[in-house]
Amino acid sequence: MKRHLILTLAASIAALLIAACGGTNEAERFFNDGVEIQELGFPKEAIEQYDKAILEDPEFASAYMNRGNAYDTLGEPERAIEDYDEAIRLDPQAVAYVNRGIAYDGLGQLERAFEDYDEAIKLDPELAGAYYNRSILNAKKGEYQFAVEDLDRVIQLNPGDAQAYMNRGFVRDNLGQPEMALENYNEAIRLSPRFAMAYVNRSIVYLDMGNNEGAVDDLTVAIRIDPQLTQAYASRVIAYTLLGRDTEAEQDLVRLEDLGFGRAMLDAEVARIKAAR
């Protein structure tokens, strides 16, 4: 069964926004307006304000930083990188390297993203987001031990980070440490009881251990939290089939079809399990 690590940038730390400043001149007033608009979820309109701030002060590093953030939100990572480059040239802050790393990751330029996260950590060894995002890159490369070390540091800095525990559970499981994986999923769920994917991942460890009833229980909770979560239905199909509850498995397969999930591979796995009974 496939385990599900949070890999989307939305689930890694978001690009970091520089907060509003004193607003003592025209450039800062435009900047502050941009921050306020961006925080309300209007990146395109925020860019207009940052443009004005930069026109007033062409060396306003924070304006370039936040405009890059807005461009990345709009799905324009190349333009975001141009702004992050300028922000770093003017004021090489750790958060600028993290943001540029996120943009490079979005473009599939993982080595450049690694370099930026490494530089961010050199500049600010307590910037949890840099370790967190680097851990995801390490997991993508199959460097699970390095990913664990980064996530250990994230949790040391932010003990309440449920996503970090979730991902550390994933990498522990991939290191062949299912008991430690369960400990991490348990903690993720304790910290965030409505974290649906943590239940899904814990259920898969249960399936590997032969605890099929426990898997069904977790997957039912995940579906109650998020009725659109196809990974939960797909995994519950397997759990139901292993338990011989074929009618319920078929009901989940029908639901997956309703959600637009192609069931051919899952049907093959179901057939394999039935043949082995």
Residues in the chain: 277
| pLDDT exceeds 50 at position 7 | no
Q: Which residue has the tokens 């304000």?
A: 49
Helices (H), the chain: 26-39, 43-56, 61-73, 77-90, 94-106, 110-123, 128-140, 144-157, 162-174, 178-191, 196-209, 212-225, 230-242, 246-258, 264-275
Residues 6+ apart with CB under 8 A from 272: none
As a whole number of angstroms, the distance between CA 18 and CA 62 comes to 6
Distances (CA, A) of 63 to 43, 117, 125, 153, 190: 13, 21, 24, 30, 39
Name the strand (E) or helix (H) holding 261: none
Mean residue pLDDT of the chain comes to: 92
> Is the pTM higher than 0.85?
yes
**What pLDDT was estimated at residue 8?**
30
Region 23-35 average pLDDT? 89
Share of the chain above pLDDT 90, in %: 89
CATH architecture for residues 196-277? Alpha Horseshoe (1.25)
Torsion of Cα atoms, 224 then 226 then 230 then 236, to 10°: -20
Out of 54-58, 115-119, 138-142, least confident range: 138-142
Instruction: Decide: 62 and 18 in contact? Cβ < 8 Å.
Output: yes
**What pLDDT was estimated at residue 260?**
96
| pLDDT exceeds 90 at position 16 | no
pLDDT band at 277 (very low <50, low <70, confident <90, very high): confident
| pLDDT exceeds 50 at position 6 | no
Which tokens belong to 111? Answer: 């080595």
Region 198-205 average pLDDT? 94
| pLDDT exceeds 90 at position 3 | no
| pLDDT exceeds 60 at position 81 | yes
Which tokens belong to 176? Answer: 């062949």
Which tokens belong to 24? Answer: 């003592």
**What pLDDT was estimated at residue 9?**
28
Out of 6-15, 179-188, 219-228, least confident range: 6-15
> What does the domain layout of the chain look like in residue ranges?
196-277
